[in-house]
Amino acid sequence: MSQPETPPESARDRLLGAARVLFYNDGIAATGIDAIVKRAGVAKKSLYNNFESKAELVATYITVRHDEWLALYARREQEASGPKEKVLAVFRAYDDHAEFAYERGFRGCGLLNAAAELPAGAPGRHAVRGHKEQVESIVTAHLLALFTGDEAKARLLARHFSFLLEGAISRAGLEGNGACVRQAMAMAEAMMEAP
């Protein structure tokens, strides 16, 4: 019995796949359209049939990276029971991100890397900020459930955890693994236990 054939990947998906790898490996500015088209194995015309410009491809890349993290978190949240474990699920999703087998190794948060290359006020930077704010709001919601009756504590701790996560993922990018994220998670767990 033969396996059902999977439909061929669309040119758009191949272009996005190539851009995801190249933007993460080399950076957005250093990655030209020709490199993306070559890696995707499509004609240059295909790029412009699917994206108005490189800027639109970058915006789509940022959206895809955001969705990838949300999927990592959703898997970890399903394994969690209770608000404390759900907060730790956010850290575990960051660790999963750091431990992924990237082509040239882990070099930090792809969204922050992208934002660092974009000019102030660029839509992509706003999208990255939106992602980071969404992560903080996820943590806040779980901490509000954990510390019912002490909203101020929950919100302050969420802000601390947000900064802890960003620092940990930045260091993890420099070190090329998730050890810093796991250390940050242990710190967060201890902070949730503190009176």
Q: How many whole angstroms separate alpha carbon 140 and alpha carbon 79?
A: 19
Give residue 128's pLDDT.
Answer: 95
Q: How many domains does the chain have?
A: 2
Q: How confident is the model at residue 195 (pLDDT cuts 50, 70, 90)?
A: low
Domain boundary among 51, 67, 85: 51
In a domain, 30, yes or no: yes
Mean pLDDT of 91-106: 92
Distances in whole angstroms, Cα of residue 42 to Cα of each of 25, 49, 79: 20, 11, 40
Give residue 6's pLDDT.
Answer: 62
In a domain, 3, yes or no: no
**Is pLDDT at 66 greater than 70 in this prediction?**
yes
Based on the domain organization, do 39 and 123 belong to the same domain?
Answer: no
Based on the domain organization, do 44 and 75 belong to the same domain?
Answer: no
Query: With contact defined as beta carbons under 8 Å apart, do 116 and 54 qualify?
Result: no
Query: With contact defined as beta carbons under 8 Å apart, do 77 and 86 qualify?
Result: yes
Q: How confident is the model at residue 108 (pLDDT cuts 50, 70, 90)?
A: very high
Q: Which domain holds residue 36?
A: 9-51
Q: Which CATH number goes with the domain that contains 155? A: 1.10.357.10
Based on the domain organization, do 121 and 43 belong to the same domain?
Answer: no
Please give the model's pTM, rounded to 2 decimal places. 0.89
Q: How confident is the model at residue 4 (pLDDT cuts 50, 70, 90)?
A: low
DSSP 28: S
Based on the domain organization, do 32 and 81 belong to the same domain?
Answer: no
Give residue 8's pLDDT.
Answer: 73
Q: Which CATH number goes with the domain that contains 35? A: 1.10.10.60
Residue written as token pair 């394994």? 79
In a domain, 1, yes or no: no
Based on the domain organization, do 80 and 146 belong to the same domain?
Answer: yes
